């Protein structure tokens, strides 16, 4: 039986692969813990930018298991997010960046008239469909210590001291003023910032 694939989504700007060491660390951790391989990959040796990738933002999606399965490239377009709906699943698992996102897609279908979902697991705030989140209070930003998937942008922001980890329950949401949504493709400066009153 073929092993399930995992993947990395890497932001490309000005034909440069961003935060490659963070992606490499997560990929090798996944290959070690999930697949049981002990070799370490160097993404800079595995990924060759095709000529059609311009200086504009592009998304590099590398799917892998024991070996690289495929690498896809596409221009990146940001989307507007103005309203978020809370959804609930105490069993959802996305500890690794699985290629199969059917459980998350099922939750996303419950968004109704909202643009995005905020997943609550066992009463604690986790992630949106595609993003990690941070909440603002008194000028500081706090990211839940219960993410479904600790993202590479999240790791960079924590290392940089821009955000801090905190236990954030569903009941805590209204103690903050704003929520910010970010991931490998959406850096901190361009991340949507939304008043928590638009989380329903």
pLDDT in tens, 160-193: 999 999 999 999 999 999 999 999 999 999 999 9
The pLDDT of residue 119 is 98
Indicate the Cα dihedral angle 191, 125, 23, 78, nearest 10°: -30
The number of folded domains in the chain is 2
pLDDT-derived band of residue 1, with 50, 70 and 90 as boundaries?
low
In a domain, 1, yes or no: no
Quote the tokens at residue 69.
Answer: 């399965």
Q: Taking residues 102-113, report their average pLDDT.
A: 97
In a domain, 27, yes or no: yes
Domain co-membership, 93 together with 122:
yes
In a domain, 138, yes or no: yes
> Residue 148 pLDDT more than 90?
yes
Domain co-membership, 93 together with 158:
yes
Last residue of a domain, one of 56, 75, 94: 75
The pLDDT of residue 132 is 98
Model confidence pLDDT, tens digit, residues 44-82? 999 999 999 999 999 999 999 999 999 999 999 998 999
In a domain, 14, yes or no: yes
Domain co-membership, 127 together with 145:
yes
Q: Taking residues 13-42, report their average pLDDT.
A: 97
CA 108 to CA 131: how far, in whole Å? 12
Q: Which range of residues forms the domain containing residue 91?
A: 84-198
12 contact partners, CB below 8 Å, separation of at least 6: 18, 49, 53, 57, 58, 59, 60, 73
């Amino acid at each position: 039986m073929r092993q399930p694939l995992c993947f990395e989504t890497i932001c490309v700007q000005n034909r440069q692969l961003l935060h490659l060491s963070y992606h490499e660390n997560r990929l090798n951790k996944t290959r070690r813990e999930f697949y049981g391989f002990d070799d370490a990959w160097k993404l800079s040796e595995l990924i060759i930018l095709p000529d059609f990738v311009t200086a504009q933002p592009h998304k590099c999606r590398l799917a892998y298991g024991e070996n690289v399965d495929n690498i896809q490239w596409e221009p990146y377009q940001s989307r507007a997010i103005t309203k978020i709906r809370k959804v609930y699943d105490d069993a959802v698992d996305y500890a690794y960046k699985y290629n199969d996102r059917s459980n998350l897609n099922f939750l996303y279908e419950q968004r109704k008239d909202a643009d995005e979902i905020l997943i609550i697991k066992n009463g604690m705030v986790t992630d949106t469909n595609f993003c990690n989140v941070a909440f603002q209070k008194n000028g500081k930003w706090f990211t839940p210590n219960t993410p479904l998937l600790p993202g590479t942008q999240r790791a960079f922001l924590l290392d940089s001291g821009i955000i801090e980890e905190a236990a954030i329950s569903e009941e805590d949401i209204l103690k903050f003023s704003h929520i910010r949504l970010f991931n490998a493709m959406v850096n901190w400066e361009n991340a949507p910032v939304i008043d928590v009153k638009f989380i329903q």
